[in-house]
Structure 1
């Protein structure tokens, strides 16, 4: 090829001519692959923009880079086949490159499908339990599928090495030893994988669940095969092993529904009449935008010689709203009692004993 372009190269060694032929032909093939990829994705992008669905855009965005490198590899394969010497070299490299590219494309397709399905699961609505469950299953499926694809891809790449292939055949021949070796080496990974599958099936937690674990209040932000990320109320992240949600006790405030009951405790003087306090509490709760209209109740739950323990119970649609409702009611009732019933504030009483009374007691 090159001797037709540059006659002076005709006298060069054969290997040099073959290398230069491959470089020139390879460069042309790669350029063609870039142009074909650009034209194809330009057309597909136009069609995706015309569509109302966002799934097309996600799929194109995910497949852009892996398909480009796949076309480049395909172009180099076609060029190498025209050069017998380089074809042998490519056969050795293809065992690494092709499984990696195929695995990359498969992972991109899986992630694109998962993201497209997540668009149908809106967790910003009030009743989002089913959407959170669906997102949790999709997240776990994505993690497990990615792990399996990477595992198989790496296995195929290693099998392209003759020495590794021979070792694998030897181990397969001694099945008992191979089982022990593989089981011992893969025990942590398999345990995490099985734990992730169990977490997805049993669903003790879902994405955006409100939980209390190790005394910390937060929301489930991400679920992976080996750990769970809990976003705490002060913006910190608590990284918890998956096994902890399967083996230990924790609180899930949104397991069945996001609606919750909350309490506020007041400590009032034993002589306080509950009628005015109950009326004011009901008025403040009804006027608050965070109350969902389900529960409002005032009860005297305990008495001591110095105070009455009064529990104010109220309900809200979710944990965040309930927290704000409790804080506002606590502040509002405290201000109202201080202004309208100052006698209800807890105080310590002392009995003054006169001198004559002391003498009578002593007698």
Structure 2
């Protein structure tokens, strides 16, 4: 066996570096083969390979370089400086590897919950929480790595005791200086785990309707319906009221209001509404109501309530219903068009805008005819009764002379 003590340091270093490179390649290849064998049964192993491949190789390479330098230059005076630099690099590479492994675990959690399905409330909750956890992991690992690097300096360790003594005052000063930043950070964590909002939730904030695109530790990104980006601090969602249209589900009820003449035929309008809703896939079949809500100012206000599976479908459905009913009034029931009436001549001689003072009255229901039962928002149908029960409860009425449960008579 040759005596390496008589070899020049450069030759020893070159041989050691070649050995390090070969060792890194062999170890990395073996680890890759093992993980790929696991990947045949679990596809998540491919994510681990993609994330941890280069951090793992970097850690092996830095460790090998440290060994090569120690073998080639065992007693050089500059060795402490090089060893210190190698230690700092090793801490940084190790932090990189740890962060990637933790992010791999977050990736595995996200893959278990698909947001592409129809009922994705739980999936969106998990994705929102993991989105915040990712950022926390990176921040915590980076802070720990920086602290470990600082502790490698003798000067920092020497003043550690005095720094700990003044840490209380420093934390108070830092907290006051970064009050808004820390408030947003805590608000971001609160939003992620309180489920007030989730990624892809439909919200109305500052009068803007859009979807939650991203939730970070300090701000929330909302993509509006017209593809504008609204960035709001996390404290906005913890201190101000806002609308979340997908908190418990995406189905919604919307209204369409029309001001028409008193001569409108509401029964014919209901038939037209049925025809319109039967011919579109936007209507989900839950709620279909046409009611007269006001009769003031010489006009009658008709309100139509319809439901859809989500907010986008509801918007299009409301526009469709409004357009079809407007065309129906214009083409099929011209008497329902809004009219302005004036009173001319002596009292009691009223004329319409068509100049017919003695127009024949419209047919009315006979006095003995029973009122037709119509479906309302809170009555007339099983869905309406169920909806009404959510706002009030039945109050028991005791008839006179009937004993209560406690035996008393009324």
TM-score where L is the length of structure 2: 0.75
Match of 1:22 among 13, 27, 52: 13
**C-alpha contact (below 8 Å) 2:210/2:223 kept by paired residues:** yes
Report which of the two has the higher share of helix: 1
**Are residues 1:309 and 2:301 paired?**
yes
CA spacing shift, 1:89–1:185, aligned 2, 3 Å: farther
Alignment of 1:59 onto 2:48: yes
- Structure 2 residue corresponding to 1:108, chosen from 95, 100, 107: 100
| More displaced 10-residue stretch of structure 1: 345-354 or 193-202 | 345-354
| Alignment correspondent of 1:361 | none
- The 3-state SS of whatever aligns with 1:257 is coil
Residue matched to 1:149: 141
Contact 2:183 2:235 in 1 (8 A): no
Is 1:199 aligned with 2:188? no
1:259–1:319: 8 Å Cα contact kept in structure 2? yes
Tell me whether 1:37 sits opposite 2:25 in the alignment.
no
Larger radius of gyration: 2
Measure the CA separation in 2 of the matches of 1:157 and 1:212. Answer: 46
1:242 aligns to 2:234 (yes or no): yes
Question: 1:238: Cα distance to partner?
Answer: 1.2
Which of these residues, 66, 81, 87, is aligned with residue 70 of structure 2?
81
Please report the RMSD computed on the Cα atoms of aligned residues, expressed in angstroms.
2.8
Q: Distance in 2 between matches of 1:31 and 1:307?
A: 89
Residue aligning to 1:277? 269
What does residue 113 of structure 2 align with?
A: 121
| Highest RCO, 1 vs 2 (Cα 8 Å, sep ≥ 6) | 1
SS in structure 2 at match of 1:313: strand
Tell me how far 1:210 sits from its aligned partner: 0.5
Task: Measure, in 2, the Cα distance between the counterparts of 1:136 and 1:147.
Answer: 17
Name structure 1 gaps, 5 residues minimum: 11-16, 358-363
Report the CA distance shift for 1:27/1:87 in structure 2 as closer, same or farther (over 3 A).
farther
Are the aligned partners of 2:113 and 2:126 in contact in 1 as well (CA < 8 Å)? yes
Kindly indicate whether the alpha-carbon contact (under 8 Å) linking 2:293 and 2:302 is maintained by their aligned counterparts in 1: yes
Render the CA deviation track for 1:207-256: whole Å, top value 9, x for unaligned. Answer: 11100001111111111110111111122221111010011111111111
Q: If the length of structure 1 is used for normalisation, what is the TM-score?
A: 0.85
> Compared with structure 1, are the counterparts of its residues 187 and 259 closer, same or farther at alpha carbon in structure 2 (3 Å cutoff)?
same
Cα deviation 1:179-234 (Å, max 9, x = unaligned): 44554566555433322222223221111110000111111111111011111112
Distance across 1 between alignment mates of 2:179 and 2:28? 42
Q: Distance in 2 between matches of 1:208 and 1:186?
A: 30
Structure 2 segments unaligned to the other structure (5+ residues): 350-410
